Amino acid sequence: MSTPVNLLDLDLDGLTTWFESLGEKPFRARQVMRWVHREGCAEFDRMTDVAKALRARLAGQACVRAPAVMRDSVSVDGTRKWLLDVGGGNAVESVFIPEATRGTLCISTQAGCALDCAFCSTGKQGFNRNLATGEILGQLWLANRLLGAARDPQGDGGGEDERDNGRVISNVVLMGMGEPLANFDSVLVALRVMLDDYAYGLSRRRVTVSTSGIVPAMDRLREECPVALAVSLHAPDDALRDRLVPINRKYPLQALMAACARYLERAPRDFITFEYVMLDGVNDSDAHARQLLSLVRGLPCKFNLIPFNPFPDSPFRRSPQQRIQRFAGILVDAGIVTTVRRTRGEDVDAACGQLAGQVQDRTRRTVPIHASREAC
């Protein structure tokens, strides 16, 4: 028997083509998409408006398979983190951050990362492999189910903002483990499903890709699926950025800034978010802040300063709070909206850059507490 098709790997076009290859009508794709994603349904038997014979066929040839949850931790601040088994001794993490006005799910796109940024625990693990679309999307599918947020498939909602309000997961950020733009093809299909009205129906403004600055892939994203963009800047000049974010040697700051300007022509938001990790005595002086101002002059942008989150054996320290405030003040005084990221979920190692730093160890120590392979 051939391997079942994982429906989480397919966007609407892919699903339509697959149904056509079975001799089925294209509208079946829309029906099944709603069941799988909106309703969070993995059992074909429950898809009551799908013909019985087709349900039996689906049960034989398809499955809905998300990564298995190995550990589910809740922080004192409500942040929830899932450690997910992606096979072969690899695990990735997703984090849900509830806030008063929104719920953000941070998802991973690769097991490990090849880009080796100096301050990042994922980078220190090295690169294991790209996640498949079903593994990326599976994180959203799972979180939706586990948070009890899968929607009634009949509920259509209203306008864009109305639809997004009141959702448990209102925003998705590709800021977990890995570099999304280094796994472009799988990420692209996953993004299309996130935006699809038959699936999650998120607006482009509420889906953010974070990149360390792979310039050709930024251009491709702009063409193929412009969503909100965050760029991990971390240094105001090439010498320092070469050291902190080694991909800078290939795509230096001038090329990166030009790519940001091109992206804005098609972006759903009229600014780029720059992420800037605050490393004590490394990139956090007044002079660095002023250099940043000249670097981004003329480019509509916001800054998100991220206090460095330490992990075992990291050579850096977090900048003191006062230093961060002073740095932020220089940007704000120049008219740039600047936020300091509140560290969330530290007690469960769910803060930025701490994800799965010790996955291999943890994998050995933990026992699966929940499996999600219902239909396979």
Q: How far is the CB of 317 from ligand SF4 (least distance, A)?
A: 18
Catalytic, out of 93, 135, 179, 275: 93
Q: Give the one entry of ligand SAH, ligand SF4, none that residue 90 binds, where binding means its C-beta sits below a cut-off of 5 to 8 angstroms depending on kind.
A: none
For position 123 contacting ligand SF4 by CB under 6 A, the verdict is yes
**Within positions 43 to 102, which residues make up the interface with ligand SF4, using CB under 6 A?**
none
Based on CB atoms, which residue is closest to ligand SF4, 85 or 275? 275
Catalytic, out of 63, 225, 260, 352: 352
**Within positions 154 to 173, which residues make up the interface with ligand SAH, using CB under 6 A?**
none
Q: How far apart are the first and last CA of the chain?
A: 13
For residue 23 the two structure tokens come to: 């001799």
Rounded to 10 degrees, the C-alpha dihedral 44/49/52/55 comes to -30
For position 180 contacting ligand SF4 by CB under 6 A, the verdict is no
For residue 145 the two structure tokens come to: 């189910």
From residue 185 to residue 224, the character string flagging contacts with ligand SAH as x (rule: CB under 6 A) and all else as - is: -------------------------xxx------------
For position 84 contacting ligand SAH by CB under 6 A, the verdict is no
Contacts of 19 (CB under 8 A, 6+ apart): 25, 26, 28, 29, 32
Tell me how far the alpha carbon of residue 295 is from its chain's centroid. Answer: 27
Q: Which of 63, 92, 111, 113 binds ligand SF4 (CB under 6 A)?
A: 113
Measured from the Cβ of residue 101, the count of other Cβ atoms closer than 10 Å reads 6
Q: Which of 186, 212, 304, 354 binds ligand SF4 (CB under 6 A)?
A: 212
For position 272 contacting ligand SAH by CB under 6 A, the verdict is no
Q: Give the one entry of ligand SF4, ligand SAH, none that residue 175 binds, where binding means its C-beta sits below a cut-off of 5 to 8 angstroms depending on kind.
A: ligand SAH
Please indicate whether residue 106 is annotated as part of the active site.
no
Q: Give the one entry of ligand SF4, ligand SAH, none that residue 309 binds, where binding means its C-beta sits below a cut-off of 5 to 8 angstroms depending on kind.
A: ligand SAH
Contacts of 361 (CB under 8 A, 6+ apart): none
Q: How far is the CB of 22 from ligand SF4 (least distance, A)?
A: 39
The residue length of the chain stands at: 376
Based on CB atoms, which residue is closest to ligand SAH, 203 or 208? 208
Please indicate whether residue 260 is annotated as part of the active site.
no
Query: Could you list the residues that contact ligand SF4 (CB under 6 A)?
Result: 113, 115-117, 120, 122-123, 178-179, 212, 232
Interacting residues with ligand SAH (CB under 6 A): 117, 119-121, 175, 179, 210-212, 232, 275, 277, 306, 308-309, 352-353
